[in-house]
Amino acid sequence: MRHIAIIEDETDIANLLAHCFACEGFEVSTACDGLVGLDVIRRVRPDLVILDLFLPRLNGQQVFRALKADLDTKEIPIVVLSANGDVANRINLLEEGVDDYIVKPCSVREVIARSRAVLRRTERPAGRREGTA
């Protein structure tokens, strides 16, 4: 079963996403601030992280950079889900390695579909190890 970590400080959004992903057959972990989110991600090693940018204690960009700097978590795909629709910010994060960037408000179905697309793109074929052809 695929595991999704949702790091979102708006409880209603986090609960809605968690419920919908669970109904789609995903295991889900949630956190409402950046520090707890970082701990959850390091502990459960999810297959994908959905990350808000505006988080208390440690913002989403700090969480993203900490994950990418850690050898144990740098390969986990990250989808940013944020109310910040600034094009320059989106481009900057995509160039830094965010796998997708979704602007709120949005459809939960879109978040799930785009998350599945990221999982398909980042999945290694069975039986192949990193760095083999």
Whether 21 is covered by a domain: the verdict is: yes
Whether 129 is covered by a domain: the verdict is: no
**Looking at this protein, which amino acid is placed at residue 25?**
G
Here the tokens at position 30 are: 């949630």
* The model's pTM: 0.88
Count of domains in the chain? Answer: 1
Provide the domain limits for residue 26: 3-122
Strand partners, 51: 7, 80
Whether 130 is covered by a domain: the verdict is: no
What's 118's domain CATH number?
Answer: 3.40.50.2300
| pLDDT tens sequence for the chain (133 residues) | 899 999 999 999 999 999 999 999 999 999 999 999 999 999 999 999 999 999 999 999 999 999 999 999 999 999 999 988 889 989 999 999 999 999 988 899 999 999 999 999 987 554 444 444 4
Question: How far is the C-alpha of 82 from the C-alpha of 79, rounded, in Å?
Answer: 10
Whether 85 is covered by a domain: the verdict is: yes
Whether 127 is covered by a domain: the verdict is: no
